[in-house]
Each structure stands twice: as structure tokens, then as C-alpha cells.
Structure 1
Amino acid sequence: MNKRSSAYEISVLGILSAIIILQSFIPFFGNITIPGLPAITTVHLTVILGAIILGTKEGMFLGGVWGVSSLIRAYTMATDPLTILLFRNPLIAIIPRILVGLVAGLIFNQIAKQMRTGVWGTVKMSVAGILGAMTNTAGFVLFTWSMYMGHSTQVIAGSTSETFFVLLIGLILGNAIVEVVSAGIITPILGQALIRFKR
């Protein structure tokens, strides 16, 4: 990596980190809040795009920025009891977000490396976006289920250890669909433009 390329990547990493922080704390910029439900997020798009244009490690770093921002937001700007309960837990707030950058970066940068633009590049970006978004949802569900299955009524009133997993999926299903579809569509549109700009 030459100095020019390194300076470019550090600059972009800094810009994307700043965008993620703004998305995390400015209402409706990165999180669309529905009372009583987890917020619909657009921050995952920034993490996924960062992983695509900069690399897997950088994507994981951006996911970490998102996770730490979510943790701080849960302590300082929580808008509902569910956010307070779940996202004040570092494992739930941070780990799934780091995994978003890992999965998106690995898919785009390690599979058929030479195919970065054109039709196949677009397909790869779309798949990276979809699976990155699904990783965030799956990580949230699995960490929440594993940590609260013994006292599930704290999360979903009337649930039991047997029904908690299914009810948890049902609780966030609508949000997850919106996030996955948006990632599958928007990631290749913005990603192709950013890849061309980088070249």
C-alpha cells in the first residue's frame, strides 16, 4: 500500500466513522424509532459500504464504532424501555455490529476477488449487503435469546423460555425485512459509485 492509498483509506475511514456517530445520535438520521419496538436502522449500510470499499478489518472497526455508539446512546438517549434493557449490554450492542463488517467484508473482498465492478460486482455487493444486514439481526436475536431466555418476560411480556425465541423473531421481523431489503438495493448503488471514485 503506497502512502497516497493509505492516506485515502484513513481519510475515508475517519469520514465514515463520523457519519456513523452522527447517524447514531441524530434522531431519524440513522435510526427510525417506533415506540415499543427496536429502531429500524440505516447505520448498517455505512458499515457494509465501508467493509466493501476499504476491507474487512476496516468494516469490523466501523461496526465497532456503531456498537460503541449504540451502547452510549442506550445510556444517554434511550427512547424506550427495550433499548435501555438490551443495548446497555455490551455484547448485544457491540458484537453483532462488528460481525456485520466481518461478514460483508469477507463476502465482497474474499469471494471472486477480481469481480469488483460490473454485473458480478453488483451481485456481490447486493449479497454482501443482504447477509451483512441479516448478520446484525441474527446476532441481536441470538445474543438476546441466550442472555434473557431464563427471564424472558423482561423483554416480552407473557413469554416463556419455550416461546421466547419465536416471539423475539416476530418482534423484530418487520424491521429486519426493511433493513435487509434496503441493504440489498442501496449497497450496490452506492458501492459501485464509491468503487469507481476510488479507482
Structure 2
Amino acid sequence: MNNLSIGSKNFARDLTKLALFSAIIFVLGTTPFGFIPLGAFKIVTIHIPVIIGSIMLGPKKGAFLGFVFGLSSFTMANVQPNLTSYFFSPIISGNLFSLVVCFVPRILVGIIPYYVFKFLKKYININVSLIITGLIGSLVNTVFVLGFIYIFFAEKYAEILNATLDNLITVILASVGVNATLEALASSILVLAICKALFKNTKV
């Protein structure tokens, strides 16, 4: 089989995976399946296929999957608005920085994990590399979303949280700390399990 034929098959295979990951992300992002209830908390899982797609398909396709993640957030912010929809939709906020909050962190979730995993697997066990990559990928989403909200919409977020600008960071950490921790742990476990299964038929 010539190289052109192999390249065409690899391209078709990756395109199929990209379409599958995109569909999964959009379904998770626009249905309750993207939020796992755990007692008083809800664990967001939408970012997990983006992290896995980044590891498996590379940063460019990962960035596209991150865009799909952002698009699903934008869609739901407008279709089913809630208190935080203000930060994800310029239609609601009247501020284009809402697009930065909505899309940039999600696109970074599709880029950063690839490089984290690529670096870690050179030096440590592949399982540990996947666990750390899943953890970091989840935190990228949390940290950048909250960071951008704080930078662009601090007053509005303080109003929603019934806080003052002086204690806003403390209130944010207290209100999302448990969720962020649980999401990062869930991401680590699922990224490890799913990637290990996918690696069986893929040369890493």
C-alpha cells in the first residue's frame, strides 16, 4: 500500500473521530448528560471529550473540539438562560468580552492537554501522565473561565454571588472549589480509562 493511500485512510479515520467527538461534546453541552448530579453539587463533564480529543488527535483538531464546546455553551446560554448566562453571551450582556469567556478557555482545553501529555509521557509512566493531563485539562477550563469573568465582569459576578469586590476572590474559591476539585478528579479518572482503551488500537 502506498503512502498516499495510508495518508488518506489516516485522514478519513481522524475526520471520523473528530466528527464523533464533536457530536459527543455538543450532546453533553446541550443536554443534562453534561452535568452529573452528586449530592448538592453538579459535576461538569463536557470538557472531558475535548481533553481526550486533544490527546488523541492533536492540538489543531483539539482546538476545533474546544470551539464546539464553546459553541454549545453559547447556545445554551441563549436558549436556556440562567444567572451565569450573562458571562457567556454578548446577546445577554451586550459585551463582546462574553465571547472571550465562552470560547477562549474551551479552545485552550483542546490545545494544552496535548502538549502536557506529550511532555509528561517522555519522563513518567503513561498512566500517571494521563491522570495529570486530565487534571490539568479540567483546571484549564475552570481557571480561565473564572479568571476571565473576574477580569471582565467582576462587578456583575460580585452581584450574583452577593459579595463585594474586596472579598470576591474568596467567595469564588469557596463557591466553586468543591465542584472544581470533583470535576478535576472525574476528568483524571475518565481520561485515563478512555484513553487507555483507545490506545489499544493506536500507536502512542
Same fold judged by TM-score > 0.5? yes
Give the residue type in structure 2 aligned to 1:68. L
CA distance in 1, matches of 2:120, 2:188: 19
CA offset at residue 40 of structure 1? 2.9
Alpha carbons of 1:76 and 1:151: their partners in 2 closer, same or farther (altered >3 Å)? closer
CA offset at residue 99 of structure 1? 1.1
Alpha carbons of 1:186 and 1:149: their partners in 2 closer, same or farther (altered >3 Å)? same
Please state whether the residue corresponding to 1:198 is helix, strand or coil.
coil
2:128 paired residue number: 123
Paired residues in the alignment total 189
RMSD: 2.2
When the two structures are superposed, what TM-score results if normalisation uses the length of structure 2? 0.84
Determine if contact 1:100/1:132 at 8 Å carries over to the other structure: yes
1:46 paired residue number: 49
CA offset at residue 152 of structure 1? 4.2
Matches within 5 A, 1:1-199: 2-27=7-32, 29-32=33-36, 40-78=43-81, 80-82=82-84, 84-88=85-89, 89-109=98-118, 111=119, 120-157=125-162, 159-199=163-203
Determine if contact 1:17/1:65 at 8 Å carries over to the other structure: yes
When the two structures are superposed, what TM-score results if normalisation uses the length of structure 1? 0.86
- Calculate percent identity across the aligned residue pairs: 27
Structure 2 residue runs of 5 or longer lacking an equivalent are 1-5, 90-97
Alpha carbons of 1:99 and 1:161: their partners in 2 closer, same or farther (altered >3 Å)? same
Alpha carbons of 1:33 and 1:75: their partners in 2 closer, same or farther (altered >3 Å)? farther
2:92 paired residue number: none
CA distance in 2, matches of 1:68, 1:97: 9
CA offset at residue 187 of structure 1? 0.8
